[in-house]
Structure 1
Amino acid sequence: MKMKQLFFGLLLSLNLIGYAQTGKEVLFTIDNKPYYTDEFSRVYNKNLDLVKDESQKDLNQYLELFIGYKLKINKAYRLGLQNGTQYQNELKSYRTQLSKNYTSDSKVTKELIEEGYNRSLKEIKASHILIMVDENASPEDTLKAYKQVLDIRQRALKGEDFGALAAEYSQDPSAKENKGDLGYFSAFRMVYAFESAAYKTQKGNISNPVRTRFGYHLIKVDDVRDNRGEVTVAHIMILNPATTSDNKADIDKPKNTIQDIYKKIQQGESFEDLAKQFSEDKSSSSKGGLLNRFASGQLSSEEFEAVAFSLTKEKPISEPFQSQFGWHIVKLVEKFPVKTLDEMQPELENKVSKDERSRLIMASMTEKLRKKYTVKRDNKLYAAISKLVTNDFYQGKWDVPSNMKDYDKKLFAINDKVINGTAFLSFVKEQQKTTNTLKPITKLTDNLYQKFVDEQLNIYYNDNLENEFPEFSAVMDEYRDGLLLFDLMEKEIWEKSKTDTLGLKKFYELNLKNYNWKNRVDVIILSSTKMDVIKKAQKLLNQGKTPEFIKEKLNEKGGAVNIMTNVGVFEEGNDVLPKNLKLQTGVSDIIKEGEYYFVTKVNKVLPAGPKTLEECKGKVINDYQQYLEENWVKDLKKEFKVEVNQTTFEKVKKQLKS
C-alpha cells in the first residue's frame, strides 16, 4: 500500500488537471476519442517548475509523454480494470478522504487545530480515577456513578492520598498496579473531554467529575512541562544476540563490545570513526551513526528517546545502555524547538479528523446543511409512521410492518432526491442496535427522525460534491485515472519483471557489463591509537593468531581497550578498509590514518568480475522494469490509433512559448 501511495502522490503532483473547459480544441484522438488543448496546456504549465529532466520541458517530447499516459489509461479500460472490486473500493476510499475538505466546517476545524497546537506545547503528568457508566445508561445509573465520584473527590480534597483512592475505587483495570498514574501525555493522546479537563486543571489540583464514553473521571494534575521538541543524535549500536543461547559468552558479547567502544571514546577516539567501524546499524554506520531528527513518541524505543533528550552540550555522549534492540551509545548532534503551527498544520488536521473533535465539526456542518436545504415533511405520513413505533423498541424487539406498501412514498425530499417513509422505518429498526433510553417513545421517535434527516442531508451533500464543486469533480477524474494506471503498471510491468524469469535472465545476460563487483578482500582489520600496540598486533597476526586471541592479549581486563577488530569481505573503497591498503594476501604494513594505526591480514583477494544474477537481482529487476515500460508505449501505439492535429499543436506551442 505504501508503494501505491507514493506512486499516486507523485502522479497527482505532476498531472493534476484543472476543471475549466473553456476555449478548448481537439489536440489528438485515441481511437477517435478526443483529448483537448486546455488540459494539455494546464498540465504542461503546472509541471514546468516541477520536472528536473530538461527533455520533459520540450513541447514535442512532452506531447509524447502525455499521449503515452493517455494510451495507458485507454489500455486499462480495454482490459476492464475499472470493473475490479479492489479498484472500486479504493476509489471509494480516496473519494471519502478527498471529500473531507468539503464536508467539514473549516472555521470550527481551524479553531480545534489551533487549540490542539497550543496544548501540544505542554506535556501533562496526571493520575485519574474512573467510575464506569455507559454513555446511554439510565438517569438513575448515571446519577449513582456521579454521586460516587463526587464522594471520592471530597475525600481527596480533604487530604486522603489520591493514589490510594485510585487503587481502591478506580475501575480502570491498571489502577491497582499504577495507582491511576498515566505518566506524561500531550494533546491527542487521550479522549477529547478528558484532555480538555486535564489542560484546564492547575498543577496540584483535582478536576471536577469529567464525563467520557467510559464513565466519570477525576483527574489530578501532578506536573506540567514544556514539550521537548525534536533532537538529532548519532549512535553506535551492537545488536542483541539473534538467537537465545545458554552460553554466557554469547549473551555478554554485545555488552562487552559496547563497553570496549565506550572506553575508546573516553580515551579520546572519534565517535564517528568508531561508528563507521563497529556500529551494527547499517543504515547509519556509514554516516558516523547519524540518525534523522525525531520527536517524543516517534521511535519505538522509549529508553532510547529518554537518553537522547537527556543529553546536553555539557554532556553530549551517553554511557552505554540497552534497549529492546541492542546496546547503544548516543551522541547529541542538535536540539530543535517545537515546530510552528504552520509546520504542524497537516499533521494536526489529520489528528483532528480522527479524534472526538470531529463530532463538533460534523455538528457544525450539519447545522449549515439544515439552512442550505429546505426539507418539507409529509406530516400525515409521519404521524402514521410514528404510531408504528412502540415500547418494544427499548427491548430490541420492535420490527417494521410486514406490509410496507402504505409507507413506500415520499416522506420528504432534498432538492430532487425523494426519501420514502420505508427508508425511515428501516433506519428506526437499525437504531435498536444502539442503546436509546429516551422516553416517552414519541419523543424518541422525533429524536430519531431528526437524526435521520441530518444523516440524509449529509449523504445528499456528499453524493453531489461533483455538481457543487467542479474542482472536486476534476480531481476525482484524476484519481480514477491514477488508480487505473497503478493497477495497469502492476499487471503489465512490475509483476512481469518479477515473474518473467526467462526474460529477466536474458536481460541480465545482455547487460552484464552493468553488474560487476569491484575488487574485494576477505580481510581481518586491527586498529589502535597506539603504535606499540599495533606493532604487537602485527606480530601476532604474522604468527597466525585469531582476532579474538589478539584482543584478549592486548586489551587490559577491566581497563583500557587498546585494540579493536573487524572481520569480513569488503569491496575496494569501502569505508571500513584503510585507504592505502594494498589488495594482496598476507599481513600488511602498518597504515596510519588520522589518529588511528591499522594493520590487516588479507586472507583472500577476490578480483573484480561480474555479479551473479542472485547477487544483483534487485537492481536487475528495476532496470528490467524501465526497459519494459519504454518498449510498452511503442506497442500501445500499434494497438491504438493515435491521430495528432498538428495545426492545433503548433498553435498551442506558440501560445505556451509566448
Structure 2
Amino acid sequence: MNLAMVNTSKFLILGSLLFLLTPKLSLGQSNANQIIVGEVGNADVTFSELQENYTQGMNSDVPLEELQSFLPIYLDYKAKLLAAKDQGYYDDSTLVVEHNNYVKQAAYAWWLEKEIKPSAFETFKERSEVELKPYHVLIALDENATEQQINDAIAKLEMARTEIQQGVPLKEVDQKYSTKRGGRSMGGDIPWISAGRTVQPFEDTLYGMDVGEVSKPFRTQFGYHIAVLQDKRERKPARLTSHIYVRGTGDSTSYDKIHEAYDMLERGRLWSEVVPNYSEDGASVRNNGRIGWVSYQSNFAMDFVDAVMQQDPDQAFSEPVQTNYGYHIFKIDSVESYATEAEKDKALMSRLQDTPYYQENNQFVIDYLVDNYGTESNSSFLNQYEAWLLGKDSTALADLSFPADLTDAVVFSFSGNKYNLNDFHSYLQDRFGDRLAINYRENWFENFKRFEADKNLINLTLDRYPQFEDQSENYLNGLVVYNINEDYVWSAATVDTSRLRSIYQNNLDNYRYKERPFYYLVTARHDSTLKEAISFVNEGGELDSLSSKIANLGVSSDSTSGYSEPPFDRLQGMDENSFSEIFEYNNRKAVFWLEDILPARNMTFEEAFNRLLSEFQPQREQEWLEELRETYNVKVYPEKLKEAYQRSSR
C-alpha cells in the first residue's frame, strides 16, 4: 500500500479512537484542543489540527519541541496551498489529469484493502477447514463458443446429470459425455481439494453442495461442467516429510534394496547415514531426504499422499511402502500446526495471495465490483438484441442503426446508473466497429459491464467510503504544493538569472576548474576487443572513430578533477597520449586513454549555472516564504502552543 493510503488508514484509526474516547476527555483537554496556535489567511489553526497533521492520524504522544518545530512549517504549507489556489494550480489541466489518475489507482487499492481482501480471507479461511472429493463431467468450450455450441453442451450435461441421479456409474457417464483429448477424458475423478486448489467457479459450486449432490451445468475457463460432491471431511494438516526412495524395477531388486535400508535403520544406523547410501531421489538426498510439505493440496500423486498421511508421525520412520513412484521409507519431521490463531491467519493470508481468490490488479477489482455492485436485468431483451445482431450477418457493427423498439431496455445497473441496449450498442460500435455482426461474442457484454464499472469506480468509492475523499484531497494538495515549490524554488526556468550572474561575477574565484585530465574510457566484454582498439590507436587511428571501426566497443570522453575514487585514481601519474592497464569496470573490461591535462581556469557562467542555482536555492526559498507569510498574514503563537500542550498533558 502506498504512503498516502497508510496515512489515511492511520487517520481512520485515530477517528475511531477519538469517537470512543471523547466522552472521557477532561475539560482541560477539550479546551486545549481548541486553543489557536497560529493563523493563515485569516483562518485559525488550532492545537488539535496541528497535532493531527503532525501525527498523520496516529494517536501518539509528541514532545513539545517537535510540535514547536513543526508549527511554522505547517503554517507555511497552508500558505502555499492558498497561493496555489489563488494562482490557478488547482485548475491546471496537467495536474487535474495527474490527480485523477492517482485517485483511480488509489481507489483500486482501497477496495482491495478495505473490502476484497477481508471478504476473500474469511471465505478462504472457512473453506480451508475442509476437503472435498469431487467428480466431474466436462464438455470443453473456448470463450468464443457460439450460443448454439453452449446450448448443445448444456443440454448434454443435463442428460448426464439425469443419468447420474438415476444411478448410472460415474465413470460410465464421464466416458459417454466428457470431451476426449488425446484419447483420454477431460472429466473424471479429481483428488481431494481445499480452498484455492482449483478455479474459483468450480470451487464456488462445490462448496455450495451437499455430499451426494449433482450440480447443474456451470461454466469455467475450460468449458461447461457438472460436478458430483462424493465426500467431505475435515482438512488434514500438511506433513513435513522426508523419505528414502528406491525406483520400482519390476523384479525383486528394488524390493530387496528398500528392505535392506529398513534393516539398517532398525539396527540403529542414523537416518543421515542411510539416506545417501540407499535413496535414489537425488534432489532430496542433498537435503537429508527432505521432500517438503505433503498434503492433499500438494502436487504429488494421490496414492503417494495417502501413503504419507497414513503414517504415524510419532514413529522414527515407517516400514517400506509402495506407491506408483516406487518404494519409500517415510519420516514425518513435523505436522502443520499453529501456536496462535493470529499465526494461523498469517499463514492462510500468505497462501490466499497465491490463489485466484485475491489478485492485486485492477481487473480483479473491477470484476469484484461488477459481481457485487452490478445488477443485470431484462436478459430476454439482451437475447433479442443478440439475435437481431447475429441476423445482420456480414454487416459491420459501425454500419448498424440501433433497432428503435429496444432503445429503452435496461440491461445493466451499476452505482445508481442504468444502461440500456442502446448504450451497449454504442459501446460495441466504438470498440468493435470494424467487426462483422456475425462475429458477435457473448463475452462482449461482460466487457461492457467492466467498462462502465471502471468509469464509475471513483464515484462508487466515494459513496461507499466517504473518508476516501480525504486521501484524494491530501494527494491533490501535495501535488499542487510540489508544483508551486518547483516553480518558485527549484526551477531554473523561473529563476532571476541576473541575480545569479551578479553572484557569479562577485565570486569568480569560487567557480574554477582545477587542473584536470581529459580522457577517453574504452570498454568491451573481452580483453581481445580492447587490445584490438589499443593497437588501432597506437597505429595512428582516431579515438573518436573507434566505435565505428571495432564492433562491441563502448567509447566515452570526459574530464574529472577527482583522482581519489576508483577507477579515476588510475589517471593519476599517467602520461599524456597513453593507455592505462586493462581493468574491470561495471562488469566489463576497460582501459583509459589520457588525451590531455587541462589547465586550471574559471568556469563560464553557463558552466557554473547549476552550482549557482543550487547554492542560491535556500535564499530563494526563504525570500519566497517571507513573501507568502506577508501576503497571507501568517502568524505563529508559540506561547499558546506551549499552553495548549501543558493543558493536554494534565
Which interval holds the TM-score relative to the shorter structure? 0.3 to 0.5
TM-score (norm. length: structure 2):
0.43
Q: Which entry has the higher C-alpha Rg, 1 or 2?
A: 2
TM-score (norm. length: structure 1):
0.42
